[in-house]
Every structure is written in structure tokens, then in C-alpha cells.
């Protein structure tokens, strides 16, 4: 596996003293920071490139201009403008909040296998609508690197294409790939000479290095994505770049692994023809073919979309983003606006419930979840979160019934298994909780909360080595997870590994200077290992932060040190 690039900024830091980083992401050629603009009090995703060389700034500006020119469309991640911050070029992008337990992009969704046909068609129509809008706004524009990882999915299950026009920048910033099959991660972009893209989704004309690539290359990549959405497998799965090149140039379309409406075969053949002249002549033709299959299969009429005004879905999406930032009052305002625009939008009621629950108003949250479920009785995540509110109101049977209903409706909803596991923990049924956390992690191996919560269950069972392994995983996924360091410290303490425990308490305190229990536990560990004077300092810090049990520890430590009973804070490191 290739070494992962470490982002320049981390959670809690500020970019240009203005953009507070909520989450830092790194992969492929870019770094993305989910931020709150503290001047505008508005969420943005800031993206830059790992190289950041000044010589690339002009190229970066030129390519970003193509994306900005696409303006606003519901199926394209909006690029507002480019800005130089801390001497680095950043794209200011729409922050797309994904659904917990599903992920932010189609690659995450596909970890759970093939999608339901109706949902696969909905996502497919979204992608083609985005491509069509791009052609209308900027004739001749080609994405060149369309793939599941470049299609984001918001909390309303709306697909949005990202990274428009950035393949050229990648070519200038990413080292060349060895055509014979150098080490590379599946789904990662590459370039060889003038060939640029992701091998699993590159059209034959891209593989041949033809200079005049047009929208039909993106149509081919879309066909690869559609095949994957329907089957759960990539179109071709060669283990080397050379093998993939041969397959895309000459291998037939593999057979589908289940029965689909006849129109599906027609669409795949019209996208995946080796000769671009044999593909759909226009994106309009492809969109019409998808519409016919969707309406014939679902029985629903395909709704039109508008790309100009801020829609109810836009407000719901921004509501989810504010909720992620912990700004629940603002999230509620956006949900209210969404419901004035569309009172039948179940997602708005659901998100309003999430914010009320986060504010501790569980009775109001239940009312919102009930409304969401009346509008959409299949909304599994509403059952899952309603269960959490029932749990907080100590209505445990209702909570359990809701978790079970969520899992029946969507057996791939990792969040529901996590929540049911938490319910078992509250009942001290740790073995059953472990089964649910295991299920959540099978569905989503990057689910930080599931690793952490499984660790707490192992801790409760006295299985500290297993707990440490899970806290390790949680910390790898979120290096700023203060309580994971703290809990790992308690497990190290239980195993008698005191230096490791103290290091973890220090990290917890560094990440959260108000974490009173971490100060106290560090003091206990020091006191038990002969560092009583130093322990006294940490007990006093814990007491100052409100840890009541620190009072007795302070008095006992002062007595053992021969000090008067009235505490006077002192740092043992002072001269």
C-alpha cells in the first residue's frame, strides 16, 4: 500500500486565520479541508494540491476557472472561486455533507455492494444531468476523471460531480505511473505521458492517448460507473495498468450478474462501445434512455431540476452541514426554510429531528422523526435516530423496535447497528453490543465511532488488548479524537503500561485542555508510580476544571507530602 500524504492542516487549526478546520482529508492529488468561514459564518470545503509549487498557480487558476464557469447546478459540486491563502491556491467549494454510515461519495456507497435498481438509476440520472449541464454551460468541457470517488452524495441522496477540469492539474502535479504496473491504489488517478485518468474508468481513446477527447470519454466512464452500481463489481478488474489497458481496448462488456430491464443493456452498450462513434450521439439521448428505464421500473415520473435558485434540497444539505459543525440553531433555520418551500420533504423533518436531538430536546425530535416517517415509511435512518431519542428518554423497548425496523429496511445502514449496539451497552449486554459493532464495521471499515464504541465494550469486559486495538483504529481515522486517547490510556493503565498511559492522557489534554478526567487520571497514574509531587499538580488542575473527586486526592497527596491541608497550586516543573 502506498504511503498516505499528511495534510498540512489539522482539525482545530485555522487557514489564513479565518477558516476553522473541522475535518482534514487527503488522497490522490489533493487536500480537502471542511471549514467554517468565521467571518461569514458559512461552511466551505477548501481544496488545494499536495505540491503547491508557485509555478503551478497559473495552471491551477486556469483550470479552476472552467469549474467556476459551470455556476450552480444540483448535480455538480459548486466551485465559488479560487483564493490564495497562506501562499497556497485554494478552491472554495460547496461543502457536501454525506450520510453517516454511508459515506460522502459513491465509492463509499459501493463498499456495501450493488445498489437497488431504482437508486442506481436515480444516481445515474443525476450524474448525466450534471454532465449535460456542463456541456451546455461550457461546450467542449471534458471531466476526464469521472469515477465513483468523484461523485459525492448528499444527505438527500442526490449525486453531485466534483473535480471538474482538474485532470490537467493532476497531470502537472502527480508523478508518472509505470505503465507496466507500478504500485498504485485501486481507483487512484494516474498519468503516463499525455494519458491522464483513473485506469478502471478510462475510455479506449484515453488509453490510446488521442489528443481530441470529447464528452464521449466521460460517457464511457459513466458506463463503467453504471455497471458497478448495478453489479457491485468494476467493469474490468485487471491487477496491473497494462491488463486494464488491454481490457478497455478490446475486452467485451462482461455479462450482468442478475436480470435487469432490457433498456439497461442498451444503455451500457451505448456508453461502453470501444469506438466513440458507436456511443450515444448526445448526452440528451443517454438521459432519455435512462428516463424511460427509470419511469418504467419505478412507476414514478422523473422530476425536473432547476439549477439557479437555492432549492429546498439545497437548504436541507446546508442544514446537514451546519449540524456537522454543531451549529444546530442555524441548521434548524435552514430546515424551516426548506419546509416552507416544500412541506413534503421528509429529509427536512429528519434533519430537524437530528438537530433537536443534539440540543437535548428529544420529545421535539420524536415529533420530527414521526413526520418524516409519515411521509416516507421506508426512511431507515429516521427509525434509527428515533430509536436514539427513545433511548435517551429511557423508552428502551421502543428504541429497540426502531433499531430493528431500520435494519430490516436497510441492512447496509451501519449507523443502525451502531445505535443498537449502544443500546445493548446501556443494558450492559456487551457481547450483543460487540456483534452489532462488528456488523457496522463490516459495512463501513472507516466508521470511527464503531471502532471507538467497540473499544469501550471490550474495556467493560476487561479485554484491554482488544480495546487498545480498536482505539488505535479510531485514532488512525481521527487523530484529534481526544476521548479515544483517554480511553486507550485507561486500558494501558489497567495493563500496567504506565508510560503509554501517561502519553495518552497528555494527548487527550493537548487536544482538549478542559478534559478534567484526563488530568485526574494522569495524576493517579503518577501517584501510583512514585510521582506524588507531580501528581498533586495534575490533581489541582483537575479540581480547577470541576473534577469533584480531585478534592480528596489533593488532600491525601498533601498529607503524604507533609504539606498543609490548604491547597496552593504549584507546577512541579517550576524552579
pLDDT in tens, 543-574: 999 988 899 999 999 999 888 885 444 444 44
Q: Cell 490537467 sits at which residue?
A: 168
On the question of pLDDT at 234 being above 70, the answer is yes
On the question of pLDDT at 169 being above 70, the answer is no
Helix or strand or coil: residue 25?
strand
Q: What is the pLDDT of residue 212?
A: 85
- φ/ψ of 48, rounded to 5, equals -140, 180
Does 376 or 565 have the greater pLDDT score? Answer: 376
On the question of pLDDT at 4 being above 60, the answer is no
Q: What is the pLDDT of residue 236?
A: 94
Reference 241, options 206, 290, 284; nearest CA is 206
Q: What is the pLDDT of residue 3?
A: 46
The whole-number average pLDDT for the span 336-340 is 94
Query: What is the average pLDDT value for the chain, to the nearest integer?
Result: 88
Reference 572, options 515, 530, 510, 514; nearest CA is 530
Distances (CA, A) of 114 to 263, 348, 536: 18, 27, 58
Q: Answer yes or no: are the C-beta atoms of 174 and 29 closer than 8 Å.
A: yes
The whole-number average pLDDT for the span 489-514 is 95
- Per mean pLDDT, which range of 113-122, 190-199, 228-237, 253-262 is the poorest? 190-199
Strand partners, 362: none
String of b and e for 132-160 (b: at least 16 CB within 10 Å)?
bbbbeebeebbbbbbbbbbbbbbbbebbb
Q: Which three cell numbers stand for residue 172?
A: 502537472
Q: Answer yes or no: are the C-beta atoms of 234 and 139 closer than 8 Å.
A: no
The whole-number average pLDDT for the span 202-222 is 93
- Residue 321 half-sphere exposure, CB side, CA atoms within 13 Å? 23
So what's the architecture of 106-298 in CATH? Orthogonal Bundle (1.10)
The whole-number average pLDDT for the span 40-58 is 77
The whole-number average pLDDT for the span 194-217 is 89
Spatial neighbors of 524 by CB under 8 A, at least 6 apart, are 493, 535, 553
Q: What is the pLDDT of residue 328?
A: 92
- pLDDT tier for residue 2 given thresholds of 50, 70 and 90: very low
String of b and e for 386-403 (b: at least 16 CB within 10 Å)?
bbbbbbeeebeebbbebb
Planar angle of CA 421, 478, 184, nearest 5 degrees? 110
Question: What distance in Å separates the CA atoms of residue 287 and residue 154, rounded to the nearest whole number?
Answer: 21
Q: What is the pLDDT of residue 300?
A: 85
The whole-number average pLDDT for the span 183-190 is 61
Percentage with pLDDT > 90 across the chain: 63
Q: What is the pLDDT of residue 167?
A: 66
On the question of pLDDT at 239 being above 90, the answer is no
Q: Which three cell numbers stand for residue 503?
A: 502519553
- Per mean pLDDT, which range of 67-76, 402-411, 469-478 is the poorest? 67-76
Q: What is the pLDDT of residue 1?
A: 39
The whole-number average pLDDT for the span 135-161 is 92
Q: What is the pLDDT of residue 135?
A: 92
- Residue 280 half-sphere exposure, CB side, CA atoms within 13 Å? 25
Tell me the per-residue pLDDT of 91-126, one tens digit each, with 9 for 90 and over.
899 999 888 778 889 999 998 889 999 999 999 999
On the question of pLDDT at 411 being above 70, the answer is yes
The whole-number average pLDDT for the span 237-241 is 87
Greatest Cα pair distance in the chain: 91
- pLDDT tier for residue 249 given thresholds of 50, 70 and 90: very high
Neighbours of 333 (CB within 10 A): 16
Fold held by 514-575: 1.25.40
Q: Answer yes or no: are the C-beta atoms of 153 and 159 closer than 8 Å.
A: yes
On the question of pLDDT at 5 being above 80, the answer is no
Q: What is the pLDDT of residue 176?
A: 56
180 CB burial (10 A radius; 0-12, 13-18, 19+): exposed
Reference 102, options 30, 25, 157, 149; nearest CA is 157
Rg (CA), the chain: 26
Does 488 or 209 have the greater pLDDT score? Answer: 488
Percentage with pLDDT > 70 across the chain: 89
- List the chain domain ranges: 14-93, 106-298, 514-575
- φ/ψ of 206, rounded to 5, equals -70, -45
Q: What is the pLDDT of residue 159?
A: 96
On the question of pLDDT at 295 being above 80, the answer is yes
Q: Given this structure, which CATH class describes domain 14-93?
A: alpha beta
Amino acid at each position: 500500500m502506498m504511503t498516505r500524504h499528511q495534510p498540512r492542516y489539522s482539525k482545530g487549526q485555522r487557514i489564513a486565520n479565518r477558516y476553522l478546520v473541522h475535518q482534514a482529508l487527503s488522497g490522490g492529488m489533493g487536500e480537502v479541508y471542511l471549514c467554517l468561514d468565521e467571518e461569514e459564518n458559512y461552511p466551505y470545503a477548501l481544496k488545494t494540491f499536495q505540491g503547491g509549487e508557485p509555478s503551478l498557480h497559473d495552471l491551477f487558476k486556469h483550470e479552476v476557472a472552467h469549474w467556476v464557469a459551470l455556476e450552480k447546478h444540483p448535480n455538480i459540486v459548486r466551485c465559488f472561486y479560487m483564493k490564495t491563502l497562506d501562499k497556497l491556491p485554494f478552491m472554495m467549494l460547496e461543502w457536501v455533507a454525506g450520510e453517516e454510515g454511508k459515506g460522502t461519495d459513491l465509492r463509499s456507497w459501493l463498499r456495501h455492494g450493488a445498489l437497488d435498481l431504482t437508486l442506481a438509476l436515480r444516481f445515474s440520472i443525476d450524474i448525466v444531468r450534471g454532465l449535460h449541464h456542463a456541456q451546455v454551460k461550457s461546450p467542449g468541457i471534458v471531466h476526464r476523471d469521472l469515477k465513483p470517488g468523484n461523485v459525492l452524495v448528499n444527505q438527500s441522496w442526490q449525486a453531485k460531480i466534483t473535480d471538474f477540469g482538474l485532470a490537467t492539474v493532476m497531470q502537472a502535479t502527480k508523478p508518472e505511473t509505470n505503465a507496466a504496473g507500478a504500485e498504485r491504489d485501486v481507483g487512484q488517478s494516474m498519468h503516463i505521458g499525455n494519458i491522464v485518468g483513473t485506469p478502471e474508468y478510462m475510455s479506449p481513446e484515453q488509453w490510446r492517448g488521442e489528443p481530441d477527447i470529447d464528452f464521449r470519454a466521460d460517457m464511457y466512464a459513466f458506463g463503467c460507473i453504471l455497471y458497478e452500481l448495478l453489479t457491485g463489481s468494476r467493469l474490468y478488474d485487471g491487477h496491473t495498468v497494462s491488463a486494464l489497458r488491454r481490457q478497455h481496448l478490446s475486452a467485451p462488456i462482461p455479462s450482468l450478474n442478475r436480470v435487469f430491464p432490457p433498456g439497461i443493456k442498451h444503455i451500457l452498450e451505448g456508453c461502453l462501445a470501444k469506438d466513440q462513434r458507436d456511443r450515444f450521439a448526445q448526452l440528451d439521448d443517454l438521459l432519455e434512455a435512462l428516463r424511460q428505464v427509470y419511469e418504467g421500473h419505478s412507476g414514478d415520473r422523473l422530476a425536473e431540476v432547476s439549477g439557479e435558485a437555492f432549492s429546498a434540497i439545497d437548504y436541507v444539505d446546508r442544514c446537514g452541514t451546519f449540524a456537522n459543525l454543531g451549529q444546530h440553531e442555524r441548521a434548524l433555520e435552514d430546515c424551516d426554510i426548506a419546509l416552507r418551500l416544500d412541506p413534503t420533504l421528509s429529509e427536512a423533518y429528519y434533519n430537524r429531528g437530528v438537530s433537536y436531538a443534539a440540543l437535548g430536546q428529544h420529545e421535539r425530535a420524536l415529533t420530527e422523526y414521526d413526520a418524516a416517517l409519515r411521509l416516507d415509511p421506508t426512511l431507515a435512518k429516521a427509525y434509527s435516530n428515533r430509536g436514539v431519542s427513545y433511548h435517551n428518554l429511557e423508552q428502551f423497548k421502543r428504541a429497540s423496535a426502531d433499531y430493528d425496523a431500520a435494519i430490516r429496511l436497510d441492512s447496509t445502514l451501519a449507523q443502525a447497528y451502531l445505535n443498537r449496539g449502544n443500546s445493548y451497552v446501556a443494558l450492559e449486554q456487551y457481547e450483543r453490543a460487540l456483534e452489532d459493532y462488528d456488523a457496522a464495521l463490516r459495512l463501513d471499515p472507516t466508521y470511527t465511532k464503531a471502532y471507538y464504541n467497540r473499544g469501550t465494550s471490550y474495556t467493560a469486559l476487561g479485554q484491554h488488548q482488544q480495546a487498545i486495538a480498536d482505539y488505535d483504529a479510531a485514532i488512525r481515522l481521527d487523530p484529534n479524537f481526544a476521548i479515544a486517547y483517554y480511553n486507550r490510556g485507561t486500558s494501558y493503565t489497567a495493563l500496567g503500561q504506565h508510560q503509554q498511559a501517561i502519553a495518552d492522557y497528555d494527548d487527550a489534554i493537548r487536544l482538549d485542555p478542559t478534559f478534567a478526567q484526563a488530568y485526574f487520571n494522569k495524576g493517579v497514574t503518577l501517584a501510583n508510580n512514585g510521582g506524588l509531587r507531580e501528581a498533586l499538580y495534575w490533581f489541582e488542575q483537575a479540581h480547577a476544571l470541576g473534577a469533584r473527586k480531585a478534592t480528596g486526592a489533593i488532600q491525601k497527596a498533601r498529607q503524604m507530602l507533609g504539606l498543609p491541608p490548604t491547597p496552593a497550586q504549584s507546577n512541579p516543573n517550576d524552579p
